[in-house]
Amino acid sequence: MKSGKLPNKILSQLLSTLPNNDKRIIVGPSVGEDASAIDMGNKYLLVKTDPITFTSDNLGWYLVNVNSNDIFTMGGEPKWLLTTLLFNPSVKESKIKEIFEDIKNSCSKMNISLVGGHTEITPEVNSPVAIGCLIGEVEKNKLLKTSGANSGDDILVTKHIGLEGTSILGNHIKNLKTNIQPSVINNAIDFIYNPGISVKDEAQLATKNDMASSLHDPTEGGVITGLEELAIASNNGMLINLDKIPIKKETQIICKELNLNPLGLISSGSLIITSEPKNTSKLIESISKSGINISKIGKMTKNNQGLKIEHDNITKNFPKFERDEIARYFESQ
């Protein structure tokens, strides 16, 4: 099989066989839902796990932010992190300490407690791999689900797509011979900090005053896969305007040089938001005032209208990505 996420069709089939005999499970495993929600009395417990496999640079920052984003999209607050760290026998002790410090400092910045985990040296991995299990909380009346999007809702995207992937690629090519200016590469590398890969601020603004019907974090597979997951979870279709999708010039330059499509590039840092049209203007104003870029890129439609994207007055079906574009690139190297 291709590297990357399991295809949504296969994953849906697997998840459909799981029983749910526990009434406390409010949100269980489902394509498009960013975390599970469990009723613990006065609040819901949110539980999420995600690995970092495409890079070992800034591993702690990626680990904490990528897992936190999925808690924020459910309307919650991340609290407790467990992490599994796997290292090849060739790893130096200094590298292990560097990664541990990065995780510790990243948790501190996000007010998250590192409460446990596992470390292992194994020849089964070639470079460091970090897997996070993050637990958070949400007030019961503040829980957001990806399935909450409705036909007729506006679709918004914050910041720019492909930020995480562009930064990873920038780090990879910085010492390679390319036609890209060093300033472009340096800007790209910095994307994980500026504008950043956390969606905390816009997620909290979107959930304030119940302005969003759903939030979703487009990670591996890029914005197109994230939109497809949103459609599957909510049982809707959508119409997207390609020209409205925000892309940084650095992303465009690097993707063109490496023959990649930014629509399928891992996109932590962007947040997909759906809102009733009556709330959209207020939502855009609120997030824009905070200094975060936000763009209206389309609308949710009826399920039978499918997933459509328009460009130059031509409407087509969504492009298909068998795996993230960054995975395709690394496989070819």
H helical segments located in the chain: 8-15, 59-72, 93-109, 163-173, 182-189, 200-207, 222-234, 249-258, 277-289, 325-332
Q: Where are the domains of the chain?
A: 11-142, 146-332
Element (H, E) at 247: none
Tokens (6 digits) for 193: 């900090």
- The class level of CATH for 146-332 reads alpha beta
Distance CA 122, CA 189 (A): 29
Q: Who's near 93: CB < 8 A, 6+ residues apart? A: none
Judge whether 261 and 318 are in contact, CB under 8 Å: no
CA–CA dist 314, 316 (Å, integer): 7
Per-residue pLDDT of the chain (333 residues), as tens digits, is 777 788 888 888 898 898 888 999 999 998 888 899 999 999 999 999 999 888 878 899 999 999 999 999 999 999 999 999 999 999 999 999 999 999 999 999 999 999 999 999 999 999 999 999 999 999 999 999 999 999 999 999 999 999 999 999 999 999 888 999 999 999 999 999 999 999 999 999 999 888 999 999 999 999 999 999 999 999 999 999 999 999 999 999 999 999 999 999 999 999 999 999 999 999 999 999 999 999 999 999 999 999 999 999 999 999 989 889 999 999 888
- Give the C-alpha separation, 264 to 308, whole Å: 16
Structure tokens at 329: 């690139």
CB atoms within 10 A of CB 52: 22
Query: Which CATH homologous superfamily contains domain 11-142?
Result: PurM-like, N-terminal domain (3.30.1330.10)
Coil/strand/helix, residue 78: strand
Reported pTM: 0.93
Tallying the residues shown for the chain, one arrives at 333
Q: Crossing angle, helix 59-72 and helix 93-109, to 10 degrees? A: 30
Coil, strand or helix at 50: strand
Quote the CA–CA distance of 204 and 76 in Å, as a whole number: 9
